[in-house]
Structure 1
Amino acid sequence: MTDKVPPLLRNRDFLLLWQGSAVSSLGSNVSTVAYALLVLALTGSPADAGFTGFVALLPQLLFQLPAGALVDRWNRKRAMIWCDALRGLTVGSVAAALLAGHLYLAHVLVAGFVEGTLTVCFRIAASAAVPNVVHPSQLALALSRNEARARGAAMLGQPLGGVLFGLGRAVPFLFDAFSYLVSLGALLMIRKDFQVERPAQPGRSGQLGHLGQLGQLGAEIGEGVRWLWRQPFLRTTTFLIAGSNLLFQALFLTVIVSARQHGGSSAAIGVMFGVAAVGGVVGSLVAPALERRLSMKVVVIGANWAWALLVPLLLVVRNPYLIGAVYALMCFVGPVWNVVISAYQLAVTPDRIRGRVLGAAGVVAFGAVPLGSLIGGLLLSRYGADTTVWLLAGWMALLAVVSTVSPAVRAAPSLTEATPLEPQPATAG
């Protein structure tokens, strides 16, 4: 007779990890808004504000692969602790410079880039750690709680960032620095290891020179990329995620422009995104129940067609609150997709290469985000909001058709039967 698995809410280590990450995510959302407001206040240039956001997002494209390989080499918990400590110092330096009256745009750009780089490493380590903190039967539930955490932090943090910036320019950055200290403290209290015991491997203890170390790191990255590529379902869904990320990043700016053109105030636009965030939170809470009732094939095909049908509605609704309601339906679908696909990916990926696989998937999925922002801006400048919505609707319809006819999706495996799939040895030719 097997021991009964305690409820997730009684898993002390998971709760510490969740609570610490929730506070730091709230702080990150606060500072994200504050960075844009700060650059506008310093330079008065929307172009500078946009460039600052691009620099902060650039690590998502540059460092997913090396961060994944390093997370598989290092002790994941220790890496996360260092990331929190250094992120806190980085954001704290912005607050200190503001209080001293000597902050320059270059400082903001460097701080955003450093914080973004550390966040990539932290996120990959945290995602890879989840299967080692919770029971396999609770993996989807744990991921749904993480989805709710992320979306709740965005819902609360973005308005809070504006409020705190109004109290004083340094206040939101002090808040963010403190949030990293809270996360660090939570990590220090967690007892479980974040990875299985790994055998010592040659070349990792300093025997190789710098070129040898770089070559081995490249080989390790290649192992993760090859593993992902050899999984047809994960390979296909990774590219589908990239396509939808591109769409939503372009759509974010599009709905703002559309709401503005139809008389929406800044406050109404804020409420619009607040309503959308509620849809995401609700979706993340019901995701475990839907995961138990729907096959992965139904989730993938259904999510893409739901988005394809919802995007054109933005041509019909004009009121910012109705736009928010349509956007909320789109955000409701997202967590179900994320929980189901992420649970399967984590379940079938061997622990020793999990960071590299997450990095390989992340460079495709998150690399589309800055591209979507760039494409959205170009389309809006050239064609206007309505034509941009039509073009994005066509793009989403194409993704829905691809998901429907894809053999890998139609033969999607079952999450309940997922077991780690060891990498195959590389073959010549």
Structure 2
Amino acid sequence: MTDAVPPLRHNRDFLLLWSGTAVSILGSRASGMAYPLLVLSLTGSVVAAGLVGFVTMLPHLLVQVPAGMLVDLWNRKRVMIWCDVLRALTIASIVVALAADRLFLPHILLAGIIEGTLSVAHGIAGSAAVPHVVHSSQLTVALSRNEARERGAMMLGQPLGGLLFGIGRVVPFLFDALTYLVSLATLLLIKRDFQVARTGERKRMRTELTAGIRWLARQPFLRTTTILVAGSNLLFQALFLTVIVIAADLGATPGAIGLMFGIAAVGGVLGSLVAPAAERRLSMKVVVIGVNWVWAALVPLVLVVRDPYLLGAVYALMCFVGPVWNVVVSAYQLAVTPDRIQGRVIGAASTVAFGAIPLGSLVGGLLLGWLGTRPTVWVLTIFMVSIAMVATVNRAVRAAPTLGGQEPRAVNTEFVAQ
């Protein structure tokens, strides 16, 4: 092995993994926007549209840990390949049924559950694969690129889904199916394996579904940050609905509200790009404590601004600091987690984080209904300040480890200059 490490732009396998996943996420975001539009056009029922949205989120709540087990037990690259094949076939069934005018709500619900489940497994396998396709010194940069990919797909996917649906009801789903085929093609071209060689573990691993949960629970810093993420996710899901209500009260049109959140998504993309520089200059303690206090300071500002686009700018600042947290903490988690339980640890952490999101929607709706907009913002502000205070006084956070103080797994052994 030589000391020369090629930049990520010359890392063929990482570029293939990144680009294929980026395309498939864009397709998923587009079809995700099209699903409620399709259900409304077929049934005219808002309840049915809401049911589809709920069902498509269920896999993110229920199958993270089992999917993590699958990712650890099987070949991760093959898991991703089969997920792309089956997702393409699932969405193709929507395309065919829609073209034949034989699409019904149960079919849409089943397709949503299947696609969501496969997407969870694909995402966990992709996250666990990153340390195996990049050098350990480039892990933070690689994760920042992945974070920017997620934010960019969110920014572009929803408008694209509405645009494609306007062309034809079948178009966004056909586009989504094709993006899975693109992702499949890129995976087939990747040369590196996505895990270290393991032998003789399959039988024992079948009894270790909760191994990731147990390992995560024994890590004070990761355990604490996972709980803090759940709290902030709950807050931001409630705040999302609150900001929409505030914008509507200010006279914003639906198009203006969409543009407002587009501005916020740009903040997330920019935050993803500066995350590696922040990681080099700031300790994890500073990141965890500082990000929470920035959020606590910004939440009440939504009551001050009186223009929807300025409201979007405030929300963009909140989105800007989020990726710094995600990249720094995720890089540490990937570096210190044993490879054989990587998928289960990611699944356990994701279950806690995603589990707070539907609760946030419920809390936001109840607070707005009971208290009104302004009191709701103040309740959310107090909640965010409480989270920031917990982060500040918590021993595990104050004694936060560093990547430099750990011994990362030696999974990258063949990086040479090209």
| TM-score, normalization by structure 1 | 0.93
Residue equivalent to 2:414: none
Is residue 317 of structure 2 the alignment partner of residue 329 of structure 1?
yes
Separation of aligned partners in 2, 1:46 and 1:312: 32
1:234 to 216, 222, 228: 222
Q: CA deviation at 1:420?
A: 4.7
Q: State the Cα deviation string for residues 14-33 of structure 1 (Å, max 9, x = none).
A: 00000000100110110111
Question: How big is the shift at 1:162?
Answer: 0.6
Partners of 2:107 and 2:364 in 1: CA distance: 28
**1:274-353 to 2 correspondence within 5 Å?**
274-353=262-341
What corresponds to 1:425 in structure 2? Answer: none
**1:80, 1:126 within 8 Å by CA — same for their partners in 2?**
yes
Cα pair 1:350 1:420 within 8 Å, conserved: no
1:262 and 1:102 map into 2 onto residues whose CA distance is 42
Instruction: Name the aligned partner's letter for residue 279 of structure 1.
Output: G
Q: Give the deviation of 1:90 after TM superposition.
A: 1.1
Deviations 1:43-72, CA, capped at 9 Å, x for gaps: 223222222111111111111111111110
1:124 paired with 2:124, answer yes
2:192 corresponding residue in structure 1:
192
Pick the aligned partner of 2:349 from 350, 361, 371. Answer: 361
Q: How many residues matched? A: 409
CA distance in 1, matches of 2:296, 2:47: 31
Q: CA deviation at 1:130?
A: 0.4
Q: Which residue pairs with 1:39 in the alignment?
A: 39
Whole-angstrom distance in 2 between the partners of 1:316 and 1:162: 31
CA distance in 2, matches of 1:337, 1:202: 34
- TM-score norm. by structure 2 comes to 0.95
The alignment partner of 1:19 has SS state of helix
1:313 deviates by 0.5
Query: SS of the counterpart of 2:208?
Result: helix
Amino acid at match of 1:80: M
Relative to structure 1, the CA distance from residue 22 to residue 241 in structure 2 (aligned partners, 3 Å threshold; closer, same or farther) is same
* Compared CA separation, residues 127 and 28, structure 1 to 2 (3 A): same
Counterpart of 1:89 in structure 2: which amino acid?
Answer: L
Q: Which moved more, 1:108-117 or 1:189-198?
A: 108-117
Structural mapping, 1:263-282, within 5 Å: 263-282=251-270
Distance 1:48 1:415 in 2: 47
> Deviation of residue 202 (structure 1)?
6.0
Contact conserved, 2:287 with 2:325, CA < 8 A, in 1? yes
Does the aligned pair in 1 maintain the 2:73–2:202 contact within 8 Å? no
Aligned to 1:379: 367
Residues 199 and 309 of structure 1: CA distance in aligned 2, closer, same or farther (over 3 Å): same
Coordinate RMSD, CA, aligned: 1.4
Work out whether residues 240 and 403 of structure 1, in 8 Å CA contact, stay in contact via their aligned partners in 2.
yes
- Between the aligned partners of 2:373 and 2:119, the Cα distance in structure 1 is 33
Superposition deviation, residue 128 in structure 1: 0.5
1:222 aligns with 2:210: yes
CA shift at 1:110, angstroms?
Answer: 1.1
| Residue of structure 1 aligned with 2:385, choices 394, 397, 413 | 397
1:111-190 superposed matches below 5 A: 111-190=111-190
SS of the counterpart of 1:175?
Answer: helix
Where does the alignment leave 5 or more consecutive residues of structure 2 unmatched?
410-418
Q: Render the CA deviation track for 1:155-175: whole Å, top value 9, x for unaligned.
A: 111111111110011100000
After TM superposition, the structure 1 stretch with the greater mean CA deviation from structure 2, 192-201 or 293-302, is 192-201
Tell me by how many angstroms 1:349 deviates: 0.3
Partners in 2 of 1:95 and 1:202 — Cα distance?
Answer: 38
Give the SS at the match of 1:199: coil
- The answer to whether residue 402 in structure 2 is matched with residue 407 in structure 1 is no
How far apart are residue 339 of structure 1 and its match? 0.2
Q: Which residue identity does 2:199 align to in structure 1?
A: P
Cα deviation per residue 1:80-102 (whole Å; 9 max; x = unaligned)?
00011111111121122111111
- Aligned residue identity for 1:83: C
Partner amino acid for 2:341?
I
Q: Quote the residue 1:51 is aligned against.
A: 51
Q: Percent identity?
A: 69
Aligned equivalents of 1:70, 1:112: Cα separation in 2: 20
Structure 2 CA distance, aligned partners of 1:134 and 1:163?
36
Structure 1 residues without counterparts, runs of 5 or longer: 205-215, 422-429
Distance apart, 1:382 and its partner CA: 2.5
- 1:42 to partner: Cα distance: 2.1
Look up the equivalent residue of 1:312 and give its one-letter code: P
Which whole-Å CA distance do the structure 2 matches of 1:306 and 1:399 have between them? Answer: 12
Distance of 1:45 and 1:298 partners within structure 2 = 48
Distance in 1, matches of 2:291 and 2:40, equals 37
Q: Sort the Cα spacing of 1:32 and 1:150 in 2 relative to 1 into closer, same or farther, 3 A.
A: same
SS, match of residue 61 in structure 2: helix
CA contact (8 A) 1:250 1:375 kept: yes
Question: Compared with structure 1, are the counterparts of its residues 86 and 202 closer, same or farther at alpha carbon in structure 2 (3 Å cutoff)?
Answer: closer
What displacement does 1:378 show?
2.2
1:372 alignment partner AA: G
TM-superposed CA distance for 1:249, in Å, is: 1.4
More divergent stretch after superposition (379-388 vs 132-141)? 379-388
1:182-213 C-alpha deviation (Å, 9 max, x unpaired): 00000000000000000222637xxxxxxxxx
